[in-house]
Chain A
Amino acid sequence: MKEPKELSVRGLTMRFGGLTAVRDFELELARGELVGLIGPNGAGKTTVFNVVTGVYRPTAGSVSAAGVDITGWRPDRVCRQGIARTFQNIRLMKSLSVLDNVIVGHRLRLKSSLPAAILRTPGYVKEEQSMARECLELLDALGLVRYANAPAGGLPYGEQRRVEVARALATRPRVLLLDEPAAGMNPSESMALCQFIQRVRSDFDLTVLLIEHDMSVVMGICERITVLDHGETIASGEPADIQANQRVIEAYLGVGFKNVAAH
């Protein structure tokens, strides 16, 4: 039998009242793939992420992870199923330390009960210590360990993005969804980010879905790209094909761009 896809989205439609944010969206991620999701502002990219992670319940269609149907599941259950994400506008727990942020991500594997935590039973204390150790190792692997005890909100912007990735990785996901990780970065920071994403993917054995506006990032690292415009999938394929696709060019630059350029 064929191995089920890590993430598979079928016929996904999301309507908010009269507005159709996404229509008949299809996506399949095979294990280890790095796929890009692009489109102009308001195309419905983040809506796709929100439906996949359980923030919204889709109007129609289904989402499954590793063969399990997770359509309409609560976000925390989706997370337990191995799907983690970051946010377009960074959403760290700002007043908590970087380490605590990562611990919150790690927490879903805590086995001790609440009474055990209050009574500080030896089993709980042991679990807490190994949890802290693992989180520190994770921060170390991502080059963030020097910030461990700093409040997350006080870090430079780029580092906050990395902490968000660290927090997502602490949940030990199989699929990582990154929502505009390069937003607000200069070209050299974007380059560093590309290397970071590729390293994380191979080190943590991940499948990655990436929303991005920065074309150098998308074209540089994605193996496949899907393009959304006004909720419709207008193209899907390899980076070179997408770059040459007339509909994609029109969606980004407007109809008649070629004519303008020819003059």
Chain B
Amino acid sequence: MLGVYNPARARLKLLLTFGGLAVLAAAIWWGNANLSSYNLRILNLAGINAILAVSMNLIFGFTGLFSLGHAGFMAVGAYTCALLTLPVATKDSIFLLAPLAWPFSVITLPPIAAVVCAGATAGLMAYLTGFPVLRLRGDYLGIATLGFAEIIRVVANNIPSITNGALGLKGIPSFASNLWWTWGCVGITVFVISRLVNSVYGRSLLAVREDEVAAEIMGVNRTYHKTVAYVIGSFFAGVGGALMGSLVTTIDPKTFGFTLTFNILIIVVAGGLGSITGSVLTSVIYTVLLEALRPIEASWRIGPLRVPEIPGLRMVVFSLVLLVIILFYQRGLFGGREFSWDRVLDWIDRRRSRKQGVRA
């Protein structure tokens, strides 16, 4: 953040950033047109997982709040977005238990507005629950937020006039099956959270994580900073939930059980607490690997020997991979490090000077 300013390198970095974004945009454009819907779905899911992992990393990795409420905020986001995007005619046909409450019964918003509303509702919920809950520390906070997520799920099950109860919502418009949507949201999430973390406000978040008491004595308003991280993280959890609802097109309270939170937690820890790069890349690896490992569950033959199919075997393999990561990379694959052009350019410089040294 605060280094020696080098104009030539700054220009080069800007150029590289735009170049990189252009390559990514081209890849998204190509992928949308040419990939099978199965592969597209995996990539979209990877993007959604990335949004969720980066937002959890802000709360847990950077600010040190051990919060397990992610699934709850996703549920809030998913229901909000679904209710705002479902066409009125569809709503009439799926709400069998009780008629849908006003104003959801009459309005339909464009996806962008609905996703923003989804994030805002989740953020508001975080603000309201954060007030009592963020006074807790460590494991206690984890238990309280886990309880909050369960409350959301149970409430969703029991207010049929808004959530349609256990039947859930079907036929949600699937705008999120487009790579522009999911990876565009990844871009916005990464932009906002990395800017936040690298700002002076971000230093204060890290200070709260490292030593709450010392940070407060140095004039850092602890409650304010925790709330900021919690609300912004939950906003993006809501966005991620909204996109997930749109991708799978049907949601019900069971979708948002606590295993969802733990999947994201696995990605965050494996990628490295305090590394946005780690969260994004690990989300992709995790999502793709989970699909790629499917064949090992099928039955296969070695000569005359026939191995029967073993459902769930990929989760065994996955657990082993996780064990290896935790054993050999205690701080996650990326530790607290981030990708930066400076790192890449320094590496190239070093290689070049080494080669010249050999020649001379």
Q: Could you tell me the distance between the alpha carbons of A91 and B214 in the complex, rounded to whole angstroms?
A: 6
What is the distance, in angstroms, from A148's C-beta to the closest C-beta of chain B?
A: 9
Question: A118 and B218: CB pair below 8 A?
Answer: no
Please tell me which stretch of A33-41, A61-69, A101-109, A226-234 contacts chain B, meaning at least 4 of its Cβ atoms lie within 8 angstroms of it.
A101-109
- Looking at the complex, which one of A80, A94, A101, A118 makes contact with B199 (CB distance below 8 Å)? A118
| Residues in B whose Cβ lies below 8 Å from that of A180 | none
* Residue of B207, B213, B220 most packed against chain A (CB within 10 A): B207
| Residues in A whose Cβ lies below 8 Å from that of B336 | 95
Question: A100 and B206: CB pair below 8 A?
Answer: yes
Q: Could you tell me the distance between the alpha carbons of A75 and B219 in the complex, rounded to whole angstroms?
A: 7
Question: A53 and B203: CB pair below 8 A?
Answer: no
Known: A76-B219, A131-B200. A91 touches B213 (CB 8 A): yes
What is the distance, in angstroms, from B353's C-beta to the closest C-beta of chain A?
A: 21
| Residues in B whose Cβ lies below 8 Å from that of A100 | 203, 206
Question: A107 and B203: CB pair below 8 A?
Answer: yes
| Residues in A whose Cβ lies below 8 Å from that of B217 | 53, 55, 75-76, 79, 84-85
Binary B-proximity of A68-104 (CB < 8 A = 1, otherwise 0): 0000001110011000110100011111100111011
Q: Does A120 contact B (CB under 8 A)?
A: yes
Q: Could you tell me the distance between the alpha carbons of A193 and B1 in the complex, rounded to whole angstroms?
A: 32
| Residues in B whose Cβ lies below 8 Å from that of A119 | 195
Q: Does B309 contact A (CB under 8 A)?
A: no
Q: Does A161 contact B (CB under 8 A)?
A: no
Q: Could you tell me the distance between the alpha carbons of A114 and B232 in the complex, rounded to whole angstroms?
A: 11
In which size bucket is the chain A interface? 35 or more
**In the complex, which residue of chain A has the Cβ closest to the Cβ of B192?**
A118
| Residues in A whose Cβ lies below 8 Å from that of B204 | 104, 107
Q: Does A207 contact B (CB under 8 A)?
A: no
Question: B213 and A117: CB pair below 8 A?
Answer: no
Q: Does A45 contact B (CB under 8 A)?
A: no
Question: B200 and A93: CB pair below 8 A?
Answer: no
Question: B203 and A103: CB pair below 8 A?
Answer: yes
Q: Could you tell me the distance between the alpha carbons of A129 and B199 in the complex, rounded to whole angstroms?
A: 11
Q: Could you tell me the distance between the alpha carbons of A91 and B211 in the complex, rounded to whole angstroms?
A: 7
**In the complex, which residue of chain B has the Cβ closest to the Cβ of A124?**
B199
- Looking at the complex, which one of B206, B207, B210, B213 makes contact with A55 (CB distance below 8 Å)? B213
Q: Does A13 contact B (CB under 8 A)?
A: no
Q: Does B222 contact A (CB under 8 A)?
A: yes
Q: Could you tell me the distance between the alpha carbons of A93 and B216 in the complex, rounded to whole angstroms?
A: 12
Q: Does B228 contact A (CB under 8 A)?
A: yes
| Residues in B whose Cβ lies below 8 Å from that of A55 | 213, 217
Q: Could you tell me the distance between the alpha carbons of A74 and B2 in the complex, rounded to whole angstroms?
A: 30
Binary B-proximity of A130-164 (CB < 8 A = 1, otherwise 0): 01100000000000000000000000000000000
Question: B210 and A79: CB pair below 8 A?
Answer: no
Question: A96 and B200: CB pair below 8 A?
Answer: no
Known: A93-B211, A94-B210. A171 touches B195 (CB 8 A): no
* Residue of A74, A80, A91, A170 most packed against chain B (CB within 10 A): A91
Question: A96 and B207: CB pair below 8 A?
Answer: yes
Q: Could you tell me the distance between the alpha carbons of A262 and B213 in the complex, rounded to whole angstroms?
A: 48
What is the distance, in angstroms, from A30's C-beta to the closest C-beta of chain B?
A: 24
- Looking at the complex, which one of A53, A91, A117, A170 makes contact with B195 (CB distance below 8 Å)? A117
What is the distance, in angstroms, from A173's C-beta to the closest C-beta of chain B?
A: 10
| Residues in A whose Cβ lies below 8 Å from that of B192 | 118
Question: B210 and A93: CB pair below 8 A?
Answer: yes
**In the complex, which residue of chain B has the Cβ closest to the Cβ of A94?**
B210
Q: Could you tell me the distance between the alpha carbons of A174 and B210 in the complex, rounded to whole angstroms?
A: 26
Q: Does B144 contact A (CB under 8 A)?
A: no
Within residues 173 to 226 of chain A, which ones have a CB less than 8 A from any CB in chain B?
A: none
Question: B210 and A107: CB pair below 8 A?
Answer: no
Q: Can you name 29 A-B residue pairings with CB atoms under 8 Å?
A: A55-B217, A74-B216, A75-B213, A75-B217, A76-B217, A79-B219, A84-B217, A84-B218, A91-B214, A92-B211, A93-B206, A93-B210, A100-B203, A101-B207, A103-B203, A104-B204, A107-B204, A107-B218, A108-B219, A114-B196, A114-B228, A117-B195, A117-B196, A117-B200, A117-B201, A118-B192, A118-B195, A118-B196, A118-B199
- 20 A-B pairs besides A55-B213, A107-B203, A117-B200 with CB distance below 8 A are A53-B217, A75-B216, A76-B216, A76-B218, A76-B219, A79-B219, A91-B213, A91-B214, A93-B215, A94-B210, A103-B203, A104-B204, A107-B219, A114-B201, A118-B196, A120-B195, A124-B199, A128-B200, A129-B2, A171-B219
